[in-house]
A and B are shown apart, each in its own frame.
Chain A
Amino acid sequence: MQPLTNRVKDVDRRPMTIGEKIYLPAILKGMSITFSHMFKKKPTINFPEQNRPFSPVFRGLHVLNRDEEGRERCTACGLCAVACPAEAITMEAAERQPGEEHLYREEKYAARYEINMLRCIFCGLCEEACPKDAIYLSETFAPSNYARKSLIYGKNDLLIPDPKTEAADLAKAKGL
């Protein structure tokens, strides 16, 4: 049969010679490989203290964005929900009332917004569908949990800190 690659090696099935039977040269050869690694650069990092940089296209935990004045950007247009292949996103819209202009950017807003993280597949289509720059997949891993009910994320879990009132929290979240 023609081999698929040129890296195929036939297994040597001849009986071992005396030099091979005493194993010592093989052990020494193996040890030399092992000890040579002590002088090489460490490929691992001390994880919780150190972090590897994420790739620029990394898709992690969702955040709901606010604008510079701290108003929610989401208008509950439903495009993220219709784009979502896992049907993880649900929302309910409400009309902005007089006096709520500092909270919501447009006349309609998402009164409820939920992402079912049990369903989410982190494909990022919601981010792409959003016409208002309201939802982003951040560079954070979604935390795991023992309870299913803790993985239904509402607006409290998703909204970023208000840049006006919680500027310190926002800076911390951004890793500054």
Chain B
Amino acid sequence: MSEQQLFKVTIDNITIEVPAGTTILNAARKIGGDVAPPAMCYYSKLQGSGGKCRTCLVEVSKGSEKDPRPMPKLVASCRTTVMDGMEVKNITSPRVTDARAGVVEFLLINHPLDCPICDQAGECHLQDLGYDHGKAGTRYEFQRRTFHKVSLGDYIQLHMTRCILCYRCVFTADQMTAKREHGVLDRGDHAQIATFIERNLHNEFIGNVIDVCPVGALTDRTFRFKNRVWFTKPVDAHRNCPTCCGEVQLWMRGDEVFRVTARKDEWGEIKDSSDGKTGWICNTCRFEKKHISDWVIEGPSNINRHSVISQGHYVGVEKPAETFEKVMDGRKPRYFMDIHNVSEVNRPDIELSLLDGPATAKIFDEPQKDNK
């Protein structure tokens, strides 16, 4: 079998030709849009990922040209390679949507419904999946699995209660570092992502586990509780970094850089950088460069307009010219009230983005010097 051999595969009545050895999921992603099955554990940039969460189940209604029998069960599309003449049903099959809704419910059995607190809310794949399948609530009445919160090093917060055991972070740490430092301990219901005896993670690229986590189990401590994702504006930026590609996405509010992440593609995976490699970014870029002067800003990131992140971001606004001064012979308008004299929110003297951890009552209760 040469690599040039192309297989014709039909997914949801759309035919595409892909090289032999491509998985159904990747073939569907080539078509794009709603045809691509959702994936919680599969990550195209990580070898060996996939096959754990079962959200990408599809129905194969025709095995191949030579053996047209349908596959008896739904198959995990991230692990099943295409055959010539294969016919796949994803969103056109009620069996698939039904099974996927069941999978979502199972994923949510132990996942706490604490989205109002979780920093991942708004960019959480599980949240999207739950809403897509109308499974925002829960039928589960028993005690949920709970763990203590753990800080993995100074920068990463592990909230094991929210983990869905997709193993993406384990693969990331395994494949990006020379020495494996964390993994899944225990089995079954007790399985948890942990460093052995809660040892800190020290690696220049370990911050990428935050980006690959599909839920809010691994979050950025330097961004913890500081703002909601949809109140920050994502912009693409770069800096000359000696360790990584330095191409990142800044989540800004005004001139404050609240969070730095790698750039994501439409599947929520880290994009390739301009040199063609996967755009993993280093810890220095991610956690320590929180000044706008550290970065060269390229422009606002392209955000799907259906995403909550684009809420309240007025794109393409044409600001009308200020006519007051022209009409009033150069006199400046007199303001009745400067909001910062009255408001206690967004005090100019508190730079939340520069705090190492979450804000506490102490920070806000410090008296304001200029205005009070």
* A contact residues vs B (CB 8 Å cutoff): 75-79, 81-82, 87, 90-95, 97, 100, 106-108, 111-114, 116, 131-132, 148-149, 152, 154
* B contact residues vs A (CB 8 Å cutoff): 114-117, 121, 224-228, 230-231, 308, 311-312, 336-337, 339, 341-346, 352, 357-361, 363-364
CB-nearest residue of chain B to A156: B344
CB-nearest residue of chain A to B346: A90
> Given that A92-B352, A112-B344, A112-B364 are contacting pairs, would A77 and B117 also be in contact in the complex, using a CB cutoff of 8 Å?
yes
Docked CA distance A104–B115 (Å): 17
In the complex, 30 of the A-B residue pairs with CB atoms within 8 angstroms, ordered by the A residue number, are A75-B116, A76-B225, A77-B116, A78-B227, A78-B228, A78-B230, A78-B231, A82-B228, A82-B230, A82-B311, A90-B345, A92-B346, A93-B226, A93-B359, A94-B358, A94-B359, A94-B363, A95-B357, A97-B361, A106-B116, A108-B225, A108-B358, A111-B360, A111-B364, A112-B364, A114-B345, A131-B116, A149-B341, A152-B343, A154-B344
Docked CA distance A97–B357 (Å): 12
Docked CA distance A113–B298 (Å): 34
Contact of A82 among B117, B312, B363 (CB under 8 A): B312
CB-nearest residue of chain A to B341: A149
Residues on A with C-beta less than 8 A from B341 are 149
CB-nearest residue of chain B to A90: B345
Contact A93 B225 (CB under 8 A): yes
Contact A148 B336 (CB under 8 A): yes
Contact A106 B225 (CB under 8 A): no
Docked CA distance A85–B352 (Å): 26
Contact B343 A90 (CB under 8 A): yes
Contact of B228 among A77, A148, A152 (CB under 8 A): A77
CB distance from B131 to the nearest CB of A (A): 13
Residues on A with C-beta less than 8 A from B312 are 82, 87
CB distance from B48 to the nearest CB of A (A): 35
Contact A112 B345 (CB under 8 A): yes
CB-nearest residue of chain B to A114: B345
